[in-house]
Amino acid sequence: MTKKIKWDYSPAPESTDHIQLKDQYDLFINGKFISGAEEKYFDTINPATEEKITAVAEAGQSDIDKAVKSARKAYDKTWSKMPAKERGKYIFRIARLLQERAREFSVIETIDGGKPIRESRDVDVPLAAAHFFYHAGWADKLEYAFPGRAAKPLGVVGQIIPWNFPLLMAAWKLAPALATGNTVVLKPAETTPLTAMKLAEIIQEADLPPGVVNIVNGAGDTGKYIVNHNDVNKIAFTGSTDVGKYIMKSVAGSGKKYTLELGGKAANIIFEDAAIDQAVEGIVNAIFFNQGHVCCAGSRLYVQESVADEVISKLQKRMQSLIVGDPLDKNTDIGAINSKMQLDKIKMYVKLGLDEGGSIYQSSCSIPKKGFWHAPTIFTDVSQSNRIVQEEIFGPVLAIQTFRTVDEVIAKANNSPYGLSGGVWTDKGSKIFKVTQDIRAGVIWANTFNKFDPASPFGGYKESGVGSEGGIEGLSGYVNLV
Ligand code: NAP
Ligand code: MG
């Protein structure tokens, strides 16, 4: 058994003095913060401490109606009529304001969602700003994105996002919709509403015409009101496959367009000729990054048999050095699980893995008493038919299998209802081409993992979704081409 390291880093917590949060947040409709018709509020908590941060208004049916009306009016009167280069200026302004306030956004993202500050600071916030910059650039150049065609906006777009990358998913949704001339009603996830509320403040500060962006909070029912509203022209959704299926059924026959970014169970494949130490670092990034709360997480590992012992023992050693704890600490690798509900789901799968006969290895890290935490966990002695190999866990839990030939691993990787992403580690370009061509998944990284760029489309095959986000493909989901 690998021993725990004998020394610790001194705590290096990011300060929270510079952030400003109100005691409660209202709905952002028609450019103003207003209370909901029913004046209901729900708490948002810090999953690392279980303490309440603030309260947020819950939008009911009549509030959604109000938000859609305000988006429609802004679409008809202002946004769709505005010269494209003016629209672009507003989006640039949002991007710059977000950059200016990057520190504040990172800290709020971390306390509301539980992810390590290193990630919100270095990944979520800069990428969110990059998405606004990238799409601001497209606003007045759509004729180059779609040569020979006229790109017309769709109208009012309903957008529903999950809790794992709250600000980044808001940026993925808002930036292309605005750049193409649509107006929006956006619903953040119930457990992570705060950076979207701060983004609403930026949108006000950027002087965006009232009603172009409306942000409403609430649970699944609030999402349903948006999906079923008859004056919404498109639903853009990121979340679970179950809710994605519900949305497909609900909008069938309504003429509404939809794009769905759903779950995943990515295969991460290590060939014997890979740079093993780099591959081990890649495995850690693929499954333990953001507590495994990543739709494209490399949650199925396939290691070529000849190097399996070496890879697994190096991985176990590396797991012992991962720091689990205070998400605000700059040394932390693995933060808090987003909610009690998600933690219970992860624990249920770990128990299931054991019941199915898997062998477990967990790092012996100390876990804080309060809050929601899960140690990095790997399973060996599992097989394709096991539920922990087939189903999305959305936590720091990895199922490891071995393979002998290229064809065998391609067949195993494709044996999944999902097809969002994947990874391949090898010294041979030919293997990279073979594997990336034959695996049915939207994004496959070679000798790296979890790399994103606004210009690169991201989307899934099979039960992982419909349509893409990012790049010209992402823009095309927000226009009618005539
Ligand atoms: P979820 O339950 O599907 O929730 C996603 C969003 O939909 C939340 O805002 C949620 O509100 C809302 N919602 C719930 N029920 C709804 C309904 N019937 N109609 C309309 N909206 C509804 O997903 P989650 O468990 O929070 O998020 C994790 C999932 O998202 C994973 O499966 C993951 O793979 C997927 N994901 C995919 C991508 C991608 O790009 N493919 C990216 C990130 C995450 P509440 O907050 O109240 O539940
Ligand atoms: Mg929270």
CATH number of residue 122's parent domain: 3.40.605.10
330, part of any domain: yes
Residues 471 and 338 in one domain: no
CATH of the domain at 344: 3.40.309.10
Find where tokens 């936590």 sit. 395
Contacts with 1 (C-beta within 8 Å, 6 or more apart), sequence order: none
Residues 331 and 432 in one domain: yes
Residues 361 and 310 in one domain: yes
378, part of any domain: yes
| Domain range enclosing 412 | 267-446
User: Is 478 strand, coil or helix?
Assistant: coil
pLDDT the model gives residue 58: 98
408, part of any domain: yes
Q: What angle do CA 316, 319, 321 make, to 5 degrees?
A: 120
Q: In angstroms, what CA-CA distances link 154 with 30, 120, 480?
A: 19, 32, 6
Summarised one tens digit per residue, pLDDT across range 140-162 is 999 999 999 999 999 999 999 99
Residues 223 and 353 in one domain: no
Summarised one tens digit per residue, pLDDT across range 256-275 is 999 999 999 999 999 999 99
| Backbone dihedral angles phi then psi of residue 256, each to the nearest 5 degrees | -70, 140
pLDDT the model gives residue 3: 54
454, part of any domain: no
Residues 369 and 420 in one domain: yes
Closest ligand 1 atom number to CA of residue 458: 40
160, part of any domain: yes
Residues 355 and 475 in one domain: no
Q: For the chain, what percent of residues have pLDDT higher than 70?
A: 99
Residues 247 and 114 in one domain: yes
- Please give the positions annotated as active site: 261, 295
Q: Over range 295-301, report the average pLDDT.
A: 97
Summarised one tens digit per residue, pLDDT across range 434-447 is 999 999 999 999 99
| Backbone dihedral angles phi then psi of residue 244, each to the nearest 5 degrees | -60, -40
Which residue type, as a one-letter code, is found at position 303?
V
Task: Give the span between the Cα atoms of 283 and 277, in whole angstroms.
Answer: 10
Residues 145 and 179 in one domain: yes
297 CB near ligand 1 (under 6 Å) = no
Residues 400 and 471 in one domain: no
Task: Give the span between the Cα atoms of 93 and 226, in whole angstroms.
Answer: 28
CA 229 distance to own-chain centroid = 25
pLDDT band (50, 70, 90) for residue 461: very high
For ligand 1, atom 42, name the residue with the nearest CA. 295
Residues 59 and 100 in one domain: yes
Residues 320 and 258 in one domain: no
12, part of any domain: no
6, part of any domain: no
Domain count, the chain: 2
223 CB near ligand 1 (under 6 Å) = yes
Residues 254 and 277 in one domain: no
Q: Over range 280-287, report the average pLDDT.
A: 98
Ligand whose nearest atom lies closest to the CA of 64 = 1
Best residue for ligand 1 mutational test, from 216, 295, 392, 468 (most atoms within 8 Å of Cβ)? 295
17, part of any domain: no
